[in-house]
Amino acid sequence: MAISLRSSSFASLGHFPQVGKPSGWIRSPSRLLLLSTRSFPRIFASSSSSSVDADLNSELDAVSSFSEIVPDTVVFDDFERFPPTAATVSSSLLLGICSLPDTKFKSAIETALADSECYEQRDPSKRLSCFYDKALVNVGADLAMLVPGRVSTEVDARLAYDTHAIIHKVHELLKLYNEIEVPPERLLFKIPSTWQGIEASRLLESEGIQTHLTFVYSFSQAAAAAQAGASVIQIFVGRLRDWARNHSGDPEIEAASKRGEDAGVALVTKAYNYIHKYGHKSRLMAAAIRNKQDIFSLLGVDYIIAPLKILQSLKDSITYPDEKYSYVRRLSPSSAMLYNFSEEELVKWDQLSLASAMGPAAEELLTAGLEGYVNQALRVEEHFGKIWPPPNV
């Protein structure tokens, strides 16, 4: 089947570590999936730092013995090659569903637009917001029946600088999921890593609600997210590298460059070592992977989200890489204990210290990410406004 969505932002898959067994929820997935992968399965990382055995069938087998390798795909017919195990439902996924003439998730959106509770909202903006939340949850519930892992639900980026609004929105979404009997252990809530988002994560995690902090582009964000107890922390390796190639003046990036290190790989390494040296519960995810070297440099990190082109190359190769890229675990709890942090890096992070420590790269990339999410949400609501009410309502 050749139909595909050619934007990696449409959805996310992988296998979020699961708490408990979702009895009665799993059924055989169809091949017609509108899914991509930015979620996170159980860790298969080896505790050994030696090279892998020579009897492995492919490079993909080799790297998968150190980190969970998750496909980043939005292609319908890749289920057999790289089976999805978890998912993210987002504004971009809703846009993708709406842009296609027929998908298995279309009815989830139509049901949301026919919801009487939303219909009764007299304020048009509140009505569209209600439709938006219902659509996210309906699609998320469908995904939860298709994948064995957890579903991460995007929290409206327009709330990114309001802690109480984020918490209120998560409670609303959780209530909607509860009404259609999606158990909370199947869920994560994806929140931007502003200070307000990190604080919201701390408070939600204290309630037992699992969070997924995204748009982390600095050590201060990663450390604050770990201190908050976020279940998943997502770092975009390639985006930091792209920024570094075209900009200057960021102390954290320049320090990595002076050490001969890639900015994105250096941040993941430092964040991993901080989490494991100081006993934080967070799992770390490396996203925006650009090439095999990124994967080899990050072996041992909890999750690596890789494009299909790279995964296919790993899968097709049955030979070891050249000596420059040996299959050695680069990140491990034991090596983390040897990593030294400065006194400034070991502070209890608060809003002021976070703001002063974030360099221009983190500030610009966070702003750009938020603007993208907000624009997508507005486009979804604009589309819903055009097609509402649906037939027979």
* pLDDT score of 258 more than 90: yes
Give residue-wise pLDDT tens across range 32-66.
333 443 433 333 333 333 344 444 478 888 888 89
How many C-beta atoms lie closer than 10 Å to residue 260's C-beta?
A: 7
Give residue-wise pLDDT tens across range 176-218.
999 999 999 999 999 999 999 999 999 999 999 999 999 999 9
Give the three-class secondary structure for 351: helix
| Averaged pLDDT for residues 126-145 | 94
Given the DSSP bridges, would you call strands 12-13 and 87-89 parallel, antiparallel or unpaired? Answer: antiparallel
- Distance between CA atoms of 204 and 206, rounded to whole angstroms? 5
* pLDDT score of 77 more than 60: no
Q: Hey, which residues are catalytic here?
A: 190
| Averaged pLDDT for residues 301-318 | 88
The continuous run of DSSP H or E covering 284 comes out as: strand 283-287
> DSSP string of 20-85?
S--TT---PPPS---------------S--SPPPTT-SSHHHHHHTTSEEEEE--BTT-TTTS---
| Averaged pLDDT for residues 285-308 | 93
Give the three-class secondary structure for 174: helix
- Distance between CA atoms of 300 and 265, rounded to whole angstroms? 12
- Distance between CA atoms of 193 and 334, rounded to whole angstroms? 28
- Percentage of the chain exceeding pLDDT 90: 61
What pLDDT is stored for residue 321 in this prediction? 55
Helix axes 124-146, 360-387, angle to 10 degrees: 100
**Tokens 């938020």 found at:** 370
Give residue-wise pLDDT tens across range 140-157.
999 898 888 889 999 999
Instruction: Give the pair of three-digit tokens for residue 375.
Output: 């624009």
- Taking all residues of the chain, what is their mean pLDDT, rounded to a whole number? 83
Q: Which range is least confidently modeled, 39-43, 102-106, 115-119?
A: 39-43
Q: Which range is least confidently modeled, 10-19, 132-141, 246-255, 376-385?
A: 10-19
* pLDDT score of 165 more than 80: yes
